[in-house]
Structure 1
Amino acid sequence: MKNYFPQRLALTPYLFFTGKGGVGKTTIASATAVNLATAGKQVMLVSTDPASNLQDVFHTELTNKPRQISQIAGLWAANFDPVTAAAEYKESVVAPYRKLLPEAAIANMEEQLSGSCTVEVAAFNEFAHFLTDPDIKQQFDYIIFDTAPTGHALRMLQLPAAWNQYLDENTHGASCLGQLAGLGDKKAMYQQAVATLNQRQLTTLMLVSRPQKAALVETARAAVELANTGIKQQILLLNGVLQTPNDRPSQAIFTQQQSDLAQMPANLTTLPAYSIPLRPYNIVGITRLKQVLQEKQPTIKLQNTTINDYPDLTSVIADLKQSGKRLIFTMGKGGVGKTTVAVKIAKALAQQGKVVHLATTDPADHLNLFQLDVPGLSVSHIDEKQVLRDYQNQVLTQAKQTMEAADLDYIAEDLRSPCTQEIAVFRAFAEMVAQKDCDVMVIDTAPTGHTLLLLDSTQRYVKEVARTTGDVPPAITELLPRLRDQTQTEIVMVTLPETTPVYESLRLKVDLKRAGIAHTWWVVNQSMLATATTNDCLQARAQNEIPWIEKVRSLSQQHFAVIPWQSDFEQTQLR
């Protein structure tokens, strides 16, 4: 596989970099922009990632207005914050109703508009502006986006019923309905933007992935989802490929990467693919951005660093046992190792005499890869796809009794939203947790704070507003207070010692706080620093982990643990 050199490729004017958190979207998008600008092109770089560190990368204060990067002629950048825009958008929709509806109704509207779907639409406003503005098109050779629009947002914007009316009569329970309210005046701009995205000669989806199974699976899903909306011009970029193994940790990483690449999802094997070798340095600042996509690399310089003796997972497990908490959720973004940490906690508590039930909502049900034959430990799998289908069928059956066909299309699309999926799974959680046949329940993947508030506000809405907004089962009514009870529930925040995973964990922390759920423990997973590697490249990267581990130490007020990097085989203890 050839290395990625942007100047050697015939790239389209619009480039969208996408990938799961922590794969290096911002870094590779920024390096591509620098690479093309230093070749004499006029380049605009736009970030719509809520966790973007674009300002840190360029050491330049950025806003949602284009600003020229002084060190590189021809390079402009803007850092659009879709979370702030979503908040402003939410207020514009809710404000007219504040004196007309009861407080419970207003709370319900606000929470409906607080989820990921509203952020998606707010981000698409920025996409649409840069895709349709004729002045921008004339000024720049390339417009590069750090983060692509989601397939769900694009499908929503293409639905005719979404533009006809805001569905005041929410007859199917808590959902993401309402995120398109009041956008009718932008319909033409959005349609032009979607048309631009679907033209192969204009737009390319740059799929950024790590050479790791979880990242590749997520990349393959995004590729299919966006291809189904019309974005079929796609390139695969494999970031962080290790090239020179020379000790046990580096050989294990090399073997794991090559194995995962050899078994990557079939739809990715048909795409043009390029690799970016694993670099030993943090890619921030103009100098590093220029270097990362060059053939000639600087000599690795290691620092004399005192490695702290960080606490391991046993300290977390000891506290969980002593506290007697019954509900333990492992939470974190995809790919950080939530399932692995959940398994380790469940097995350890069972081995110490607790009756433990371990549950997961991972559609792949990877629990069957682990050795779980421990006395006192039972396992179950909430089939996320099945419970979602059941919920969707229930809602559509009810909707068909009162709605026209066009509006049913809107309902069906809304039911594919992240919010609906969370709620369907959460209902299954509630029913499972209502059972009292164990001392401790460890659940891999917790509901988000938004989901909890959405259900809570809907429940109050049902009671105080004279119309039907959905069925809230008793199990949920009983579970919400329990999750807010610090004596019963613990959230273990799982992250990696890297920029994006830590910042994404902070966003989850804010989300939970908004829902009234406290958490104590953090786990920094897959630390290279803790392996004591002697490989120069990995040693340099290990040293770069220290600031992020120290940040977690501070955030957690010393309630944290560090787990060394392990291969998939070591993590799962495959039979």
Structure 2
Amino acid sequence: MNEQTQFDPVALQTKFIFFTGKGGVGKTSLASATAVRLAESGKRVLIISTDPASNLDDVFEQRLAADPVAITGAPGLFAANLDPEEAARAYRECVIAPYRNILPESAIRSIEEQLSGACTVEIAAFDEFAKLLAASEVKGSCYDHIVLDTAPTGHTLRLLNLPMAWTGYLEEHTNGASCLGPLSGLGGKKDLYAQTVSALADPLQTTLVLVARPDRAALVEAARAADELLQIGIANQQVVINGVLDNPGDDLAAKSYRSRQDLALALMPPLLSQLPTYRMTLHPHGLIGVGALKQMFQPVIPSSVRAPQPPYDLDGAGLHSVVEDLMKKGRGIVMTMGKGGVGKTTMAAAIALGLAEKGVRVHLSTTDPAAHLLSALGGDQQVEHLTVSRIEPKSVTEQYRNKMIAENKERLDQEGLDLLAEDLSSPCTEEIAVFQAFAEVVSKADQSFVVLDTAPTGHTLLLLDAAEAYHREMQRATGDIPIHVRQLLPRLRNPEETVVVLVTLPEATPVLEAERLQEDLRRAGIIPQWWIINQCWLPVATTQPVLTQRAQAEREWVEYVRRIASQEVMIPWQVEEPVGVERLLRLTHS
């Protein structure tokens, strides 16, 4: 691993500086503090957010809009908040309007559904971003640096590289669910998008900053993003490890926390180890306001606040409550869902072990390409009543593509087959293929539990729902929907058969992202029954000043979850990392 030095924004030389990372790693704080620091150094800087749940307004304590505005207290700094949800609404109407009095109502509903998923929001966000970069005051020498909080993902950029998607897709294909639909109304912007993607890939113009935390899951997620972006030509990357605890002192929890961080960094994925790597110290609270942002690159001097006495009341609800609730059903599907790095693999493994311990048969499966499941269980060991499997995304996607092409080879001409092949190269194909593989696993379960780690997203469910509703009209990619998929969707919507567990951390971004996921699932007809607030410091009796203050800051988000969740449990941060059967079972005993 490259030697870690403190991150210094002034050393960044490119005009475009993009920050990316999973929810809760601190990329908005880091991007905002970087923009402030660059402006302090005499540069003229624009910071942009394309996050639907952007909190740039909160960070700068100032109302922001799509047009850049000057930031009070930071001469030379300007900020803009692009609203991709609003852009997606406008885009949907722009695409659908010409067809309203031409196509049947069923076809209009199909188009609306295929433009309701995450792809449309991603493309709309990129559209707003590209238009802003093309504006004369931005394209010229008005700004020395443009900082983007929440960079385009590899998923978005792969969508933009599907060439046939730009040519009249909706005019010929009005049914079904596809990644190509969101692109079909943007033909006139192909050159603009190509120029924007080219700028992203130019190391003389763009630096991509991957933000991660010093824990295994976050680092693996960062490595996955790095690899995905490298594959599409974005190579000028560097890593910032955010939240390293300095000065743990003699506090047992703090020393354990720092030891775990050191171990995670020592085992950093090889791809990240090859990149320039920097670190940022763990701060005791959220960085709100220009004054606080200026302190991000200064030594942390926490106040001498002590832990609350007594520790935060958990109201007796721990992971055992989830297991006991499931046991009342006796069988069914359990899906743990949440953004990367929140601990859903650990929670899925713990729930599965808790159920198996009570004597019921459990099948635990994962769709995670990184396959952390065996690591969480402490290796390939046998547990009575528990079986474990892995759905390998690349393998099942390739099988799905081959099957679809084979089934359509006789009835499609070469042009149709070319379009089908491109459609099957879109990012959403993997989601559908993985989901169908999951459906196959569930269809084999009888009088038992199936626990799925890294469950299908609401986006996937909406895609499949559209496919199911209109499959008789479809003459393209998805073909006939397998019986186990048709049976599974109604089962997932039945709360007597399926329990969705959302996993989050007691911080702003993970909670807000989980809330968006809950809304997405509800649109698909699925109501999450449990929230797990993982890795909480509130119930931990630490006296380390930084951790104590972070515990106090968690109260707001714990209470927020309690307002929006049907049922919730808190999992305290564990002094011993919950890896292995014995430690995972301890989580279900408290």
TM category (shorter chain) comes to over 0.9
Equivalent in 197, 203, 209 of residue 212 of structure 2: 209
Contact 1:356 1:438 in 2 (8 A): no
Give the secondary structure class of the aligned counterpart of 2:514.
Answer: helix
Equivalent in 326, 332, 344 of residue 326 of structure 1: 332
Bigger Cα displacement from structure 2, 447-456 vs 307-316: 447-456
Structure 1 pair 365–155 and aligned structure 2 pair: CA distance change class (3 A): closer
Contact 1:174 1:470 in 2 (8 A): no
Shift of the alpha carbon at 1:491?
0.6
Structure 1 pair 437–54 and aligned structure 2 pair: CA distance change class (3 A): same
Contact 1:50 1:82 in 2 (8 A): yes
Amino acid at match of 2:33: A
Question: For residue 451 of structure 1, what is the aligned residue in structure 2?
Answer: 460
What TM-score does the superposition give when structure 1 sets the normalisation length? 0.93
Question: For residue 470 of structure 2, what is the aligned residue in structure 1?
Answer: 461
Q: Does 1:256 align with 2:299?
A: no
Equivalent in 320, 323, 326 of residue 317 of structure 1: 323
* Alignment deviations for residues 439-474 of structure 1 (CA, whole Å, 9 cap, x no partner): 322221322233223222222222356888522011
Structure 1 pair 359–567 and aligned structure 2 pair: CA distance change class (3 A): farther
Question: For residue 42 of structure 1, what is the aligned residue in structure 2?
Answer: 44
Question: For residue 586 of structure 2, what is the aligned residue in structure 1?
Answer: none
Q: Which ranges of structure 2 fall in alignment gaps of 5 or more residues?
A: 584-590
Amino acid at match of 1:254: R
Shift of the alpha carbon at 1:187?
1.9
Bigger Cα displacement from structure 2, 155-164 vs 541-550: 155-164
Amino acid at match of 2:535: Q
Shift of the alpha carbon at 1:129?
2.2
Structure 1 pair 465–12 and aligned structure 2 pair: CA distance change class (3 A): closer
Equivalent in 284, 289, 295 of residue 288 of structure 2: 284
Equivalent in 85, 89, 92 of residue 91 of structure 2: 89
Distance in 1 (CA, whole Å) between partners of 2:581 and 2:325 is 25
Contact 1:68 1:76 in 2 (8 A): yes
Q: Does 1:197 align with 2:197?
A: no
Q: Does 1:415 align with 2:424?
A: yes
Amino acid at match of 1:552: V
Shift of the alpha carbon at 1:522?
0.8
Contact 2:209 2:240 in 1 (8 A): yes
Shift of the alpha carbon at 1:193?
1.5
Structure 1 pair 198–329 and aligned structure 2 pair: CA distance change class (3 A): closer
What TM-score does the superposition give when structure 2 sets the normalisation length? 0.90
Equivalent in 508, 524, 528 of residue 537 of structure 2: 528
Shift of the alpha carbon at 1:438?
3.4
Amino acid at match of 2:495: Q
Q: Does 1:139 align with 2:142?
A: yes
Question: For residue 492 of structure 2, what is the aligned residue in structure 1?
Answer: 483
Amino acid at match of 1:123: A
Structure 1 pair 242–44 and aligned structure 2 pair: CA distance change class (3 A): same
Shift of the alpha carbon at 1:182?
1.8
Give the secondary structure class of the aligned counterpart of 1:463.
Answer: coil
Question: For residue 229 of structure 1, what is the aligned residue in structure 2?
Answer: 232
* Alignment deviations for residues 96-128 of structure 1 (CA, whole Å, 9 cap, x no partner): 223333333222222222222222211211221
Equivalent in 343, 347, 358 of residue 352 of structure 1: 358
Question: For residue 588 of structure 2, what is the aligned residue in structure 1?
Answer: none
Give the secondary structure class of the aligned counterpart of 1:393.
Answer: helix
Contact 1:173 1:471 in 2 (8 A): no
Give the secondary structure class of the aligned counterpart of 1:329.
Answer: strand
Distance in 1 (CA, whole Å) between partners of 2:30 and 2:477 is 48
Bigger Cα displacement from structure 2, 421-430 vs 434-443: 434-443
Give the secondary structure class of the aligned counterpart of 1:101.
Answer: coil
Amino acid at match of 2:386: L
Contact 2:215 2:264 in 1 (8 A): yes
Amino acid at match of 1:19: G
Distance in 2 (CA, whole Å) between partners of 1:365 and 1:151 is 20
* Alignment deviations for residues 64-88 of structure 1 (CA, whole Å, 9 cap, x no partner): 1211112211111111121221222
Distance in 2 (CA, whole Å) between partners of 1:572 and 1:552 is 29
Amino acid at match of 1:271: L
Question: For residue 125 of structure 1, what is the aligned residue in structure 2?
Answer: 127
Distance in 2 (CA, whole Å) between partners of 1:173 and 1:95 is 18
Matched ranges for 1:295-314 at <5 A = 296-302=299-305, 305=308, 307-310=311-314, 311-314=317-320
Give the secondary structure class of the aligned counterpart of 1:179.
Answer: helix
Structure 1 pair 399–89 and aligned structure 2 pair: CA distance change class (3 A): farther
Shift of the alpha carbon at 1:95?
2.3
Contact 2:331 2:449 in 1 (8 A): yes
Distance in 2 (CA, whole Å) between partners of 1:105 and 1:54 is 39
Question: For residue 29 of structure 2, what is the aligned residue in structure 1?
Answer: 27
* Alignment deviations for residues 155-176 of structure 1 (CA, whole Å, 9 cap, x no partner): 3324433333326555997432
Distance in 2 (CA, whole Å) between partners of 1:468 and 1:217 is 32
Distance in 1 (CA, whole Å) between partners of 2:477 and 2:45 is 51
Give the secondary structure class of the aligned counterpart of 1:223.
Answer: helix
* Alignment deviations for residues 494-547 of structure 1 (CA, whole Å, 9 cap, x no partner): 111111110011011101111111122111111122332222211111111111
- How much is the aligned-residue C-alpha RMSD, in angstroms? 2.5
Contact 1:449 1:511 in 2 (8 A): yes
Question: For residue 545 of structure 1, what is the aligned residue in structure 2?
Answer: 554
Q: Which ranges of structure 1 fall in alignment gaps of 5 or more residues?
A: none
* Alignment deviations for residues 23-70 of structure 1 (CA, whole Å, 9 cap, x no partner): 111110000011111222211110011232111111111121211112
Q: Does 1:270 align with 2:283?
A: no
Question: For residue 166 of structure 2, what is the aligned residue in structure 1?
Answer: 163
Structure 1 pair 480–471 and aligned structure 2 pair: CA distance change class (3 A): same
Contact 1:152 1:416 in 2 (8 A): no
Distance in 2 (CA, whole Å) between partners of 1:44 and 1:63 is 13
Contact 1:384 1:425 in 2 (8 A): yes
Bigger Cα displacement from structure 2, 369-378 vs 106-115: 369-378
Distance in 2 (CA, whole Å) between partners of 1:367 and 1:267 is 21
Structure 1 pair 467–404 and aligned structure 2 pair: CA distance change class (3 A): closer
Structure 1 pair 329–152 and aligned structure 2 pair: CA distance change class (3 A): closer
Structure 1 pair 539–67 and aligned structure 2 pair: CA distance change class (3 A): same
Shift of the alpha carbon at 1:569?
4.3
